[in-house]
A = this chain, B = another copy of it.
């Protein structure tokens, strides 16, 4: 039988990664750039220009705490930030379904504008396409973005280098070393559950709102404090996927303490009803940071002073090579966390 694209190919996680590696990286690898395609990191870097693209197919378009417009801005801005970039300009590609109400488009654009102002970034170029009425669910968007090197990145790396060597001038997935501490900037799972609760066919009622927000201030605060070796926003595939990408690219293991991972009660109970793992759900306003142990507490304190990082926690640390994420459970045992095949909730971003 012929192989076909499935929803999992767009859900982040192992299946998406296999598709990207086998079909895309194999054709387009470009190792002459500092952070090339094949790094499969949050963004690429070409001559100190950070460059990133994201398409957004979330539905419904509006959900508690956000909408596709805000998502489009936050997603791309945060990816540029995570690698050590400072977002400068966005492009906006709109692919709309014939018959979409103009009033809905206006609401999306208003929200996008608001998020751009928050993130201090401009939409400078765009494109609109329309497809026939059908299965698109109103609209999908693409936001690509460019950024410069973050002003605070070098001082952050100076702090790291006063304790140990570092492979890259950028905050790459491959930068972790045993002993580094893992910090998550706040509650996880909110975004996916908020989108899910807006899909009425699931009968899920919750007061959970998407965490969707641009992380400029949080990232700049952490870098000013110094000691960060890697950062990642745990989007599709959630915290588990982020930790596995770090393990594989840094060739290390990671141990996390279940009791330290901030998860709201509403998210926990929704996940129980749906039978899914909150650690595999995409977030849109959180960062996971790997920090040298000497600076972990001070970075944590700094994050907690920001609005976006008020609920930050040190959740674990990097172990020597094992390629696995191990979880210390609440009852004192240890188990290997599964690597997600894909986000358990489809089309949340």
A315 CB, min distance to chain B CBs, angstroms? 27
Q: Is A2 an interface residue (CB 8 A)?
A: yes
Q: Map CB proximity to B onto A75-94 as digits: 1 under 8 Å, 0 otherwise.
A: 00000000000001101111
A102: chain B residues within 8 A (beta carbon): 2-5, 23
In the bound complex, what is the Cα–Cα distance between A125 and B38 (angstroms)? 9
Partner of A131, one of B47, B98, B136, B144: B136
A213: chain B residues within 8 A (beta carbon): none
User: Assuming the A-B contacts A5-B105, A137-B131, are A126 and B20 also in contact, with contact meaning beta carbons closer than 8 angstroms in the complex?
Assistant: yes
In the bound complex, what is the Cα–Cα distance between A6 and B96 (angstroms)? 9
In the bound complex, what is the Cα–Cα distance between A124 and B34 (angstroms)? 11
A125: chain B residues within 8 A (beta carbon): 37, 43-44, 51-53
Q: Is the CB of A96 within 8 A of B51?
A: no
In the bound complex, what is the Cα–Cα distance between A112 and B27 (angstroms)? 9
A127: chain B residues within 8 A (beta carbon): 53-55, 142
Q: Is the CB of A109 within 8 A of B46?
A: no
Could you say which of A7-15, A247-255, A277-285, A303-311 contacts chain B? A7-15
Interface residues of A in 55-85 (CB under 8 A from B): 55-57
In the bound complex, what is the Cα–Cα distance between A112 and B116 (angstroms)? 32
Q: Is the CB of B55 within 8 A of A113?
A: no
A27: chain B residues within 8 A (beta carbon): 109-110, 112-113
Q: Is the CB of B100 within 8 A of A37?
A: no
Q: Is A335 an interface residue (CB 8 A)?
A: no
A23: chain B residues within 8 A (beta carbon): 102, 105-106, 109
Q: Is A265 an interface residue (CB 8 A)?
A: no
Q: Is the CB of B2 within 8 A of A103?
A: yes
A144: chain B residues within 8 A (beta carbon): 53, 91, 93, 142, 144
Chain B: CB-nearest residue to A9: B130
Q: Is A203 an interface residue (CB 8 A)?
A: no
Q: Is the CB of A37 within 8 A of B140?
A: no
Chain B: CB-nearest residue to A102: B3
A224 CB, min distance to chain B CBs, angstroms? 24
Q: Is A123 an interface residue (CB 8 A)?
A: yes
A19: chain B residues within 8 A (beta carbon): 128
In the bound complex, what is the Cα–Cα distance between A116 and B142 (angstroms)? 21
Q: Is A133 an interface residue (CB 8 A)?
A: yes
Q: Is A24 an interface residue (CB 8 A)?
A: yes
Chain B: CB-nearest residue to A32: B122
Q: List 30 A-B contacts (CB under 8 A).
A: A3-B101, A4-B99, A5-B98, A5-B130, A6-B130, A7-B98, A9-B96, A9-B130, A20-B126, A23-B102, A23-B106, A24-B92, A27-B109, A27-B113, A30-B124, A33-B89, A33-B124, A37-B123, A37-B125, A44-B89, A44-B124, A51-B89, A51-B146, A53-B91, A55-B142, A57-B131, A93-B144, A127-B142, A134-B136, A135-B136
Q: Which 6 residue pairs across A and B have the least CB separation, nearest first?
A: A134-B135, A10-B130, A53-B91, A144-B144, A142-B142, A3-B102
* New A-B contacts (9) at CB < 8 Å, excluding given A23-B109, A53-B142: A4-B101, A10-B96, A23-B105, A23-B106, A37-B122, A55-B94, A131-B347, A133-B135, A135-B135
